Structure 1
């Protein structure tokens, strides 16, 4: 597809990288020649220097013949204007990054009037992700599928976990809990394990599970958890504001530490029930004086990755039960993990996942369309949700008889509101929602991509 991206910042660059790697024809617009030069050299994409809200610039980028324009600048109004112009010029679809909380109530009207296909709010998405993690603190990551009925959750196997030392075929009790281990990450490498795979202490595992069984799953794994009642947030930006509002609505005590006085005052007006502290969140004495030792969770949301790392490490050192760290630079994932920071949230990756999911759905030509996508295992794998809306040759055939590509796993099936964590004798049917797990880079655009060849039956490749 022909895709134009306006704004070559952190979000724009991430999108450009992923979409160009998936084979799309990408043109990037930005007024900064330096960032454009970097994108052109590193990603081998076409670039146009200028203001993306100008008709002349959009025409130079051939917006009029493009399938999609994504407006990802730092200005909401600029993004909306870019999309309006693109639709007027003839672009088929538009996506706008809209971050300001004040626009939330108007988004439906704005989408209709501007012809937006999709609006993305990275900060709100990050806040929602953090809120969900605080509901079940032992999980390092949670991703929801099948309209919230199925989840992929990540855990680290610590001392005394009953899974340590066992091979997957020995875990029949997990099947009784409607759960399946999809991915194991060990020493920075991921494996989509077979039945003989042996689990070790320190492994990070991703489990597909029925959302209604998460609490029972934790009890089965001897992992104690309790309701989050108090949260300290360092950094008072938009994510903090969204998150605090969600937590307060859930009757959680919230303390926000923000160094900018004007911003702190604005937060105190917007969040009357939260405690707002004007101070430096990296000051350990301040953190201790504000009761960080007694809090249930510490969330670091400053705009500087290094500050977030330092504060989270201090929280771990003094025994805060749960720390969540925001990162902007995804290459820091492994660095943070090596320093004991297991739970990280990246707004730009959440945004990229949602947009790439939309793009793959647009590109889909078969009866199994992409309805959701997320990166898992520190970006090394993907979970892709499909809705099977047409007859297909792979339907009603036991999974064990299908010729799936290596390291492709059918992790979950939703059928008539029932979550099925499939076994070899289960099959996919028309009308199912199916979650597929695959290594990043396999580019799963539709259901046909999970099979070795066009004939999905096992042994078909040898017969042809």
Structure 2
């Protein structure tokens, strides 16, 4: 696939590193020659020094023949103009990065103006990941499919769980009542896509799939209310914090924000009147003690300085905070020091890059039988979760799943029925896939790029 990336900043460089490991022809455009040289030293890609708003530069880049044009500069205006020019030159898919609310709040108009297929906001994507991590604090991995209507959650079976000590076939009254299924089990490193005879035991990691509401009910049934998160302390009032505060308040969390800059503190207070905002230095241990840091369920450090975020996280660890999240762009700091669990950190650039990468991989692996909309790899890449949109040529049509001969370790988990106004069904042996349906498949098999590849 021929891909052009405009902007070699944090997101652009990270995405280039990821895509260069795949079978794509990549050209990166940036004004900064030194940045491009560093990128060329690390990756097998091409580079072009220049301004993405210069139509001659875009012509030199042969934009008219690219499959995907991705505008990721830090300047929204540059991304919009370059995308519009790329569209006029005949570029294929167009993805643009936008951050300013005046644009983000008018996404449909921007898409129409630029011919773009996708508009992303890295800060919002990062905030959404953090919000899910807080809401489902006892879940290890939470992913969404089918426009966030289907949820997949990894959770450890507790000693008091209604699942512990039962075979999967014996849990139907519990799981079917919630309309969910268990798609993957990790038993001390042994990865299984379970059948009805599989024995569930405390300590196993399981992946639950179902509608968002039903998975939410399962989580609440498995996790006692008294140990769920309620009080959240955010340090720093940057763009991610703005998105995160709104997402958490919408879900009835108690939110406190500490921000050293007075203007930023006033701004976030005016935008979120239900939040408690403190104008102080959140990296000062005395300030954190005065704010009673020990009373919070979660501390999220989102200042613009990696070292500060690491320090705040270490202070939170000392106070025994259950959920600690730090924004760390330079992850080499963590590798060098080894002072903070990598699972407690995140980078906005990786959230945006992973989102774009999944889209590109789905386009790259599309076929005339079905379109692969999303692809996730889990458990050290042993398992893939694939979302297909099925077309009229599939061999799987008009057959109950119990009569379909699937490959070993392969499960049809979710079906979205196009003829039933997008109704979501947790798949059973009686389920039937029709033309236009979207299907979620879990498999340990490799090289599945179309729906018929799941057949034996």
Band of TM-score, shorter chain: 0.7 to 0.9
Residue 415 (structure 2) pairs with residue 413 (structure 1): yes
CA shift in 2, pair 1:386/1:138, >3 Å? same
Contact 1:312 1:341 in 2 (8 A): no
Contact 1:15 1:352 in 2 (8 A): yes
Q: What's the CA shift for 1:248? A: 3.6
Further displaced range: 39-48 or 114-123: 39-48
Q: Which residue pairs with 1:291 in the alignment?
A: 292
Contact 1:3 1:69 in 2 (8 A): yes
Q: Which residue pairs with 1:6 in the alignment?
A: 6
TM-score, normalised via structure 2 length: 0.82
What is the alpha-carbon distance in structure 1 between the residues aligned to residue 294 and residue 179 of structure 2? 37
SS at match of 2:105: helix
Residue 56 (structure 2) pairs with residue 65 (structure 1): no
Contact 1:71 1:96 in 2 (8 A): yes
CA shift in 2, pair 1:116/1:222, >3 Å? closer
Q: Which residue pairs with 1:178 in the alignment?
A: 179
Further displaced range: 290-299 or 192-201: 192-201
Aligned residues: 450
Could you give the per-residue CA deviations for residues 251-280 of structure 1, whole angstroms, max 9, x where no partner exists?
Answer: 543221233445334434444443333333
Q: Which residue pairs with 2:127 in the alignment?
A: 127
Determine which of 423, 427, 438 is the counterpart of 1:422.
427
What is the alpha-carbon distance in structure 2 between the residues aligned to residue 330 and residue 157 of structure 1? 31
Q: Which residue pairs with 1:447 in the alignment?
A: 451
CA shift in 2, pair 1:283/1:354, >3 Å? same
Q: CA RMSD in A?
A: 3.9
Further displaced range: 71-80 or 151-160: 151-160
Further displaced range: 285-294 or 397-406: 397-406
SS at match of 2:139: coil
Q: Which residue pairs with 1:352 in the alignment?
A: 353
Could you give the per-residue CA deviations for residues 51-109 of structure 1, whole angstroms, max 9, x where no partner exists?
Answer: 33322332232112212210111221221122122122221332110012232223322
Contact 1:297 1:321 in 2 (8 A): yes
Contact 1:231 1:299 in 2 (8 A): yes
TM-score, normalised via structure 1 length: 0.80
What is the alpha-carbon distance in structure 2 between the residues aligned to residue 424 and residue 336 of structure 1? 51
Q: What's the CA shift for 1:392? A: 0.8
What is the alpha-carbon distance in structure 1 between the residues aligned to residue 441 and residue 432 of structure 2? 13
* Structure 2 residue ranges without an equivalent (≥5): none
What is the alpha-carbon distance in structure 2 between the residues aligned to residue 380 and residue 31 of structure 1? 40
What does residue range 109-128 of structure 1 map to in structure 2 within 5 Å?
109-128=109-128
What is the alpha-carbon distance in structure 1 between the residues aligned to residue 402 and residue 38 of structure 2? 47
CA shift in 2, pair 1:22/1:60, >3 Å? same
What is the alpha-carbon distance in structure 1 between the residues aligned to residue 238 and residue 190 of structure 2? 34
CA shift in 2, pair 1:141/1:302, >3 Å? farther
